[in-house]
Amino acid sequence: MPSRPAGSAGRSSSTARTTRPNTENDQETQPLRDYQATVRDVEAPKPRINPERIFGHERRRTFTPEEFGRFLAACRPFYRDHFLTQVGTGLCSGELLGLRRRRVYPELRRIEVVEVRYEAGRFGRGFKAEPKSPASVRVVPMCEQVRQAIGRQLPVGARPEELVFPGPGGSNGIPRGARTPLSTHNLRRVYRAAVAAAGHDLAHLELRGPHDLRHTFATWLEDAGIPSRVIDELMGHAGGRRTGGGGGSPMSRVYRETTPAMLARVTAELNERIGRAMTAAASVQRDARESAGP
């Protein structure tokens, strides 16, 4: 009896039935899966000890409200709402640029963080249906200043899948005003241009990119006396209640809840600080108009 070709003995009809061609969605997400496979088993580098940071000699990466106002005054008008929302929610750039209308509830003063804009070099770019960790799937309260910023950005009758913070269009053959996806690279470029335009007003700070606004969000809440567990939860860190961090006994972590009263404190503190920033921005712009003369 002739022998079977190598490899055919273990092949069954059930295996053949379960094999299916890639769908269009599979093909779109394959570059992302390839990228994730290349980094999955790579250990994170250990942080370098920095004595200058420990001793407080490094320049700050965070804004005071007045400094953030000077940043807004120097920023291109189209992007001011982007950065105001980022400092008022603590969202990462990818979370901000992946936010869609269906995840925004102005009447409930809440934002649901799920979808994320990603850019992975040669592996492509797009949107992920889920963030990098379970803790990143969260609800963030919406203070009044953020609610107004979102209202300015969303067109009337926006579809549920509409991006809240798109790019302005006007380049690469795209008409100006077209609501096209904005890359994190371009958001960083606009941020750095605003820092440069502010000149000596912000020269004493060590500002690197939009992630500075996430640092600022956490610092403002810590200054206001908001518990670190609540800050971790709002920022999507593993130290929040849902992921078992935040200090205390395991049982106490199970029973602690972030109450509506605590969220009201959070939004009140953010409103106060962003309000001061807006006042400072208006003052800078008024001074600039007066110095320019008639």
- The tokens describing 222, both together, are 């810590």
Q: Is residue 55 part of a domain?
A: no
Euclidean distance between CA atoms 64 and 67, whole angstroms: 5
* 3-state SS track over 231-270: HHHHHCCCCCHHHCCCCCCHHHHHHCCCCHHHHHHHHHHH
Instruction: Give the confidence band of 17 by pLDDT, cuts at 50, 70, 90.
Output: very low
Q: Which two tokens stand for residue 60?
A: 């700050």
Per-residue pLDDT reduced to its tens digit, 48-94: 887 876 777 788 999 999 999 999 999 999 999 999 999 999 999 99
Quote the pLDDT of residue 274: 98
Does any domain span residue 71?
yes
Domain annotation covers residue 60: no
Tally the domains of the chain: 1
In a domain? residue 19: no
Closest CA to 270 of 92, 145, 152: 145
Q: Residue 279 is part of which domain span? A: 65-292
Residue 77 tokens read as 């008008």
Is residue 130, in this structure, part of any structural domain at all?
yes
Rounded (5°) CA angle 105-188-196: 120
Asked, for residue 17, whether it belongs to a domain, the answer is no
Residue 51 resides in a domain: no
> Is the predicted pLDDT of residue 282 greater than 70, yes or no?
yes
CATH number at residue 155: 1.10.443.10
> b/e string for 22-41 if b means 16 or more Cβ within 10 A?
eeeeeeebebbeebeeeeee
Determine, yes or no, domain membership for 258: yes
pTM, 2 dp: 0.78
